């Protein structure tokens, strides 16, 4: 498990809307039972008026997904599905979205 890794959403009730969960918690806190995730939704399902700074979009296997930063949540690490991708190359955009939701800048 690592910061900015993407996992398959293990919850069948929400998997269509949010097929992936982006782990944003620092690896320094890996001993905690929980981690902080942001759901990713297919961009075609994201609101047309989404805020690009709050909701950056990334391609995963040729498909566009939007980071739903405003839907940040905690989850038990044991409930995470399989790790599928690493978005650490987009660290700047992810941190900017978190800064925007926390401080408005």
pLDDT at 51 over 90: no
- Report pLDDT digits (tens) over 21-50: 999 999 899 899 999 999 999 999 987 767
Please, what is the Cα angle at 60 between 6 and 84, to 5 degrees? 35
Q: What is the CA radius of gyration of the chain?
A: 13
- Report pLDDT digits (tens) over 75-93: 999 999 889 999 999 999 9
Within 10 angstroms of residue 86's Cβ, the number of other Cβ atoms is: 13
pLDDT at 1 over 70: no
What CATH class has 5-103? mainly beta
% of the chain beyond a pLDDT of 90: 85
Q: Which comes out higher in pLDDT, residue 105 or 74?
A: 74
- Residue pair 40/6 in contact by the 8 Å Cβ criterion: yes
What's the rounded Cα separation, in Å, for the pair 40 and 46? Answer: 9
Where are the chain's structural domains?
5-103
At 85 the pLDDT is 95
């Amino acid at each position: 498990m690592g910061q900015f890794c993407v996992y398959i959403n293990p919850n069948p009730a929400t998997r269509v809307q949010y097929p992936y969960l982006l782990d944003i918690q620092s690896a320094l806190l890996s001993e905690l039972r929980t981690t902080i995730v942001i759901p990713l939704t297919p961009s075609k399902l994201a609101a047309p008026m989404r805020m690009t700074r709050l909701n950056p979009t990334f391609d995963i296997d040729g498909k566009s997904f939007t980071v739903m930063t405003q839907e940040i949540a905690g989850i038990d690490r044991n409930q995470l599905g399989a790790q599928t991708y690493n978005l650490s190359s987009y660290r700047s955009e992810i941190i900017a979205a978190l800064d925007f939701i926390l401080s408005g800048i």
